[in-house]
Amino acid sequence: MRVTDAAGRAWSLFDKTSAFDAGGALGPDVSYPVDVTVACAVREERGGVVTVSTAPHGVATPDGREEFVVRWEQLVG
């Protein structure tokens, strides 16, 4: 999965399909790319951006990064 932070930097998150596919959108017959979500915890809100953590769900970048500053509009649910 790729997420773009509030500064425009793209980050890649790797995990099992189930970490990104609560709705069952991923599969062998799907045309990629497809929009998916990842569960996160909001850590801080400041000036229209929020710091979120994917740590509670065990999802991280290959180098272990689990916190990201994103725009509010990127959050769903």
Q: How many of the other CB atoms lie within 10 Å of CB of 22?
A: 12
35 is in which domain, residue-wise? 2-74
Q: What is the mean pLDDT of the chain?
A: 90
Whether residue 25 has pLDDT greater than 80? no
pLDDT of residue 35: 83
Domain tally for the chain?
1
- pTM of the prediction? 0.83
Average of pLDDT values for 21-40?
Answer: 83
Tokens 């769903």 belong to 76
pLDDT (mean) for 53-62: 92
